Amino acid sequence: MQTEQIRIQTGSREQVSDLTNQCRAFLDRIHASDGLLHIWVPHATAGLAVIETGSGSEADLLAALRELLPADDRWRHQHGSPGHGRTHVLPALLPPYASVPVFGGHLALGTWQSICLVDVNVDNPTRTVRLSFLSG
């Protein structure tokens, strides 16, 4: 297994960050052939999504999460910014992992699919993502 850790600056606002180019660059650097790319986010308040980007889906996803997980005082887990407890529920809806098949060194994503980090925790501006390639 070949692995690499990258850091993503998400800032102090809710954000969907497209990781697809970083994933492709990792596969290029290790001269990947066929196998599986596993993406892991070692944080209790962030998740991954495979979605279409660039057409408003990022904003739609964040809006849906605001509806499902409002930033108010209903959460038992309370510290940090208002509604912080919701960020600890997020990984149950958007898991902190994704696996994507790789064929001939290329991600086997659909035409409009991108691999995205979803971070609604405004208290943590820097995220770590581990990319691991399992050759097969």
* CA gyration radius, the chain: 16
Residue ranges of domains in the chain, CATH in brackets:
2-135 (2.60.120.460)
What's the predicted TM-score (pTM) here? Answer: 0.93
Q: How many angstroms separate the CA atoms of 98 and 114, rounded?
A: 11
**Number of DSSP helices (H) and strands (E) in the chain, helices first:** 3, 8
pLDDT in the model for residue 134: 98
pLDDT along the chain (136 residues), means of 10: 96 94 98 98 96 95 95 81 85 97 98 96 92 96
Tell me the H-state helices in the chain. 20-29, 57-68, 90-93
Q: Given CA atoms 54, 57, 59, 61 in this order, what sign does their dihedral have?
A: negative
Q: How many angstroms separate the CA atoms of 26 and 96, rounded?
A: 19
Tokens of 90: 């997020």
User: Hey, which bits of 10-112 come out as E strands?
Assistant: 15-18, 35-40, 46-51, 97-103, 106-107
